[in-house]
Structure 1
Amino acid sequence: MYIYLNGEFVEQEKALISPFDHGFLYGLGLFETFRIYEGHPFLLDDHLKRLNHGLKALQFEAAYERLQIFSLLQELLKKNQLLNAYIRLNVSAGAGEVGLQATGYEYPFLIIFSKSLPQAGEMQEKMAKLLKITRNTPEGNERLKSHHFLNNILAKKELGPSPNYEGLFLTKEGFLAEGITSNLFWVKEGTLYTPAIETGILNGITRQFILKMAKKVGFEVAEGFYQKEPLYEAEEVFVTNSIQEIVPFKEVDMHQFPGKEGKVVQALHKEFRKHRSVLWTRNDI
């Protein structure tokens, strides 16, 4: 497989980064993951907007636009003979002196990874457990999609390797937060609930898309601070992320739910399928 490595396409076995890259030394980097559906990068504009916002916050002298990145994606897909793919677009700080740097970074390092995914199909349901480890608080004013993933890794170790389970974080105050790699939703009496961004969660791109799409098709939406009990009493529970789309739960801590048979997740997934091969931004729905 080929990857894009800061100006050239190279075989992944030959890819090298500097040991002085502050993305390696201090975790100073950002990334976006998204899917390619039949050659189309779903919600690419939204991913780039979030990425560019984070780059500005970290004082990286870089910003990326649709045409630039889409051109690189097309070439990468062609080289790897992919039509449906997982993409990770990664920007690290670049090489610098050993030691913390207070000034900006002039030469960020861009890497784009891809791997094959099957053609998108029906929803895959899972089970979930509330984690003992709590969600860490954002390191700045908001949670960026950064290289700092130790909290998530420790949570995955607690959960175990089974692909059939997702772990759900609580905040240290006991409020529902998010999944290890996903955003959390549940349904009760016609309202779609999700934890507020102020709980410290990542404002997922698919999360934002689902909220807008749900309002468009007539659902009431509520964001706030919630204890775990409303989750157990819900009619449907699901999580979202940019690779797995909508993942309904059939069980959360031994509480049973309809999983992929749920009427709300079916309605949302039906709308999702209409847009995933054509939409550049949620603002166009």
Structure 2
Amino acid sequence: EQGRRVAAAVDDDEAPPATLIITAGPMTPYPAELYEKGATVVVSDIRTSPDDPTVYHKTTGYLRNLLALRDAHCARATEALLFNTKGRLAEGSLSNVFIVSEGRLLTPSVEEGLLAGITRAAVLELAAEVGVPAEQRPLAVREVLDADEIFLTNS
């Protein structure tokens, strides 16, 4: 069964009437091979800023993320990891990022400049339920590269 993707935008420029734009189309699921063999990721040259208030909200302004994803695809990778202007991990171009290091589940804190996804929240909640130590904190490039595992979440 194929899912559907729906996007909505509201133009609220204090000038009535507001415009609501909705688009819908087929959502292509990730291939089974991705789950079986894993994804290839690259570190993007594009930086995100924790001082940019738009990074914390789901908006239609995804140009930075789309450019990072395009660069990843040009490098034959599935996803691009975005680091912030302080050199710390923020998020993937389409995902939240977790690393496993020495039995601990680590993910960047929201203050690093990321959109905290609902699947990210669910993973943190499940980790707490089953007793997996989890931390939300700044993650440097070296710590990410030295991780035992990296996994991505996306709704």
Using the size of structure 2 for normalisation, the TM-score is 0.82
> Paired residue for 1:92, among 1, 4, 9?
9
Is 1:109 aligned with 2:27?
no
CA–CA separation in structure 2 for the residues paired with 1:149 and 1:213: 29
| Superposition RMSD in Å | 2.8
SS, match of residue 61 in structure 2: coil
Following superposition, the deviation at residue 110 of structure 1 comes to 5.2
CA–CA separation in structure 1 for the residues paired with 2:66 and 2:42: 16
CA–CA separation in structure 2 for the residues paired with 1:162 and 1:119: 18
* Bigger fraction of residues in strand: 2
- Counterpart contact for 1:178–1:201, Cα < 8 Å: yes
Identity of aligned residues (%): 27
- Counterpart contact for 1:127–1:165, Cα < 8 Å: yes
Is 1:228 aligned with 2:141?
yes
Gaps of 5+ in 1: 1-82, 243-285
Gaps of 5+ in 2: none
Could you say which structure has the larger radius of gyration?
A: 1
Is 1:206 aligned with 2:119?
yes
- Counterpart contact for 2:82–2:90, Cα < 8 Å: yes
1:212-268 per-position Cα deviation (integer Å, ceiling 9, x unaligned):
1121122111001111111122111111101xxxxxxxxxxxxxxxxxxxxxxxxxx
Aligned pairs for 1:262-277 within 5 A: none
CA–CA separation in structure 2 for the residues paired with 1:118 and 1:159: 18
Partner of 2:84: 171
CA pair 154-119 structure 1, distance change in 2 beyond 3 A: closer
Following superposition, the deviation at residue 179 of structure 1 comes to 0.6
Is 1:127 aligned with 2:40?
yes
1:159-200 per-position Cα deviation (integer Å, ceiling 9, x unaligned):
234664311011011011111100110111221000000011
Using the size of structure 1 for normalisation, the TM-score is 0.47
Number of residue-to-residue matches in the alignment: 153
> Paired residue for 2:101, among 177, 185, 188?
188
